Structure 1
Amino acid sequence: MADIYQAITDRILESLEQGVLPGVGRPWDPSSRTPLIPCNAVSGRQYNGINVPLLWDMADKRGFSQDRWLTFRQAKEAGGSVRKGERSTLACFYKPMKREIVDDAGDPVMDEEGNPKEKHFAILRGFNLFNIDQCDGLPDDVTNPPATTIEGFESVDALDDFIDGCGIKVVHSLDRDVAGYYPKQDRVLLPAKERFHDAEGYYSVALHELTHATGHESRLARAGITDHDGFGTPQYAFEELIAQLGSAFLCGHFGIRNDAFDTAYIASWIQALRDDKRAIFRATGAARLAAEVLKQAHQENRALASTDQPQQESVKAMPTRRPRADDQDIELFGHQWPLGDSVKLDPTVDRGTFRAQVSRLKQLGYQFDARSQTWNYAAVAAA
């Protein structure tokens, strides 16, 4: 395919022009499916970034019952087959890269501060997936995996713990008619729960506003929040797209319908995607980082609140091996992946990426050494 960027953008545009954003529920159609984060049916590994709305979109359009996918070869190796005549769904592998700029003699070109200039680019390639509904003969462990809970959450009610523990002030009021995030106060204001028609409506709105809050200057510093130029502007419309996708990712993560959808910005999103075929990639990337920041903050706050085990036992419980690479880490760390036992972050990257890298390093088990300004893997440092 000559232009994957344009092909994927056209797919999302087709849905937007029909008034639909992939992954967002239809409150007017209670029978519509509740999408989960798409995963590979064989490995169980979740897809991320732009692939999430792409696979959601195709699952909705073709009426698939599950968000489980695999390649033609995987279906065959698992003992099944893709039914004759079934059409594949385009997904993509995306990896940001950077390279030093050199002159004709091969020497690095320096900037005004004496640092080597770098060229930023990305590797993008497409691949084809099939939903398990398009296959025959697959074993039960592929088509009907055992039920699992997501990071300890066993019910919608447990989302209260997530909202309370992600480090952002949330205030409820019986006399409020609208929800909103207020950057100057750095807090989310919501109507009282009883004013919502159902639990999923409340939680999807709350997660939408919390996604906005990740744009605060103390977190990911997104321009739509830090340099707010008024509601209805192209910049704020793009921030709304990030918040819609971020809440969709979180709802898919927790297994609830996302009913928080404001159609007022659809025209602006359509125009943004028509003007720039890479816009939807930036939006999904920012939404993924926002969701990860909220999940990481909750995990850290929950760990701090737990005093059941002494610190010494905690050190012993640290993993001796780092988690395997996934597409999110490759995208986040770029040329620094794979990470070694010691990592020195590039302070010249944008603030949002830098904060996301720090959060992910903590999650992976790294500890910061102020003297050397490096992040060292805790299990190695303790040995």
Structure 2
Amino acid sequence: MAAKDRADVYTRVTAEIIAAIEQGAGEWHASWFHNGTSVARPTNVASGKGYRGINTVALWGAAMANGYSDGLWGTYRQWQDSGAQVRKGERSTTVVLWKQIASSEPAGGDDSDDGGHRRMFARAFSVFNVAQVDGYEQPPVQVLPESERLAHADEFIVNLGIKAVFGGAEAYYLPSSDTVFMPDFASFRDAASFYGVWIHESGHASGSKHRLDRDLSGRFGSAAYAAEECCVEILSGLVLADLGIAHHPRADHAAYIASWIEVLKDDPRAIFTAASKAQQAADWMHAQQPARHEQAA
């Protein structure tokens, strides 16, 4: 693919991502079936919903302290209802459920329908990790067959010269060792998701000092971190289009970017800056390919 043609594709893909964000991109979900490790979001066994706020922190801490490798939690009764039994002697972890209740006191100017004002009521629950119970069967996880791998995409990413380690439950780039860590191919929903995530994490690696030298020092939740996440997720959409894997941005690209763009709301040009850096990273990736690859693309 010629540089001009790539530029046209990049302009179109970026425009589609921005349009999807403006229309409401929805909620982002990880594209691999991870096993709920302690660094993943803790989830309730009965509702299937993730814990929120301080409960997330409390359950992370308990999982790490006790070496739990799964983020599934429930009360004693919830485990019983699921056909499992909490083992005798296991110690629980406390979470708090906040509910809004109507007060019988005068409203004091509040125009709520019940004539009173609303207060928050906290109730503590004792929960146990799935590692503390017997008799619980995890639902079967779909396995993506190796036959779905795409040789040209594997070759493209390997040519970047970025070390990758597979087999964990999370996807991330570790600057200190200049290594990308990825779940196995089999744990992804489809091939496009696998290559999209691998390109995303390799995109972070492209920003290291000995490559494109982007600012990778931002802490989680900061504007610098958000800008980098937006950059590499746009990059993922661009390169997937280059490789003919996804000719249009996948919904998860826009949803992921939208989850970070709120942090950058004070900078109306943030998305365009991120797109510019993404195009620079995509050009760098193409520059790492053998000449024969460029001719065939």
TM range (shorter): 0.3 to 0.5
TM-score when normalising by structure 1: 0.38
Relative to the length of structure 2, the TM-score reads 0.48
Structure having the higher Rg? 2
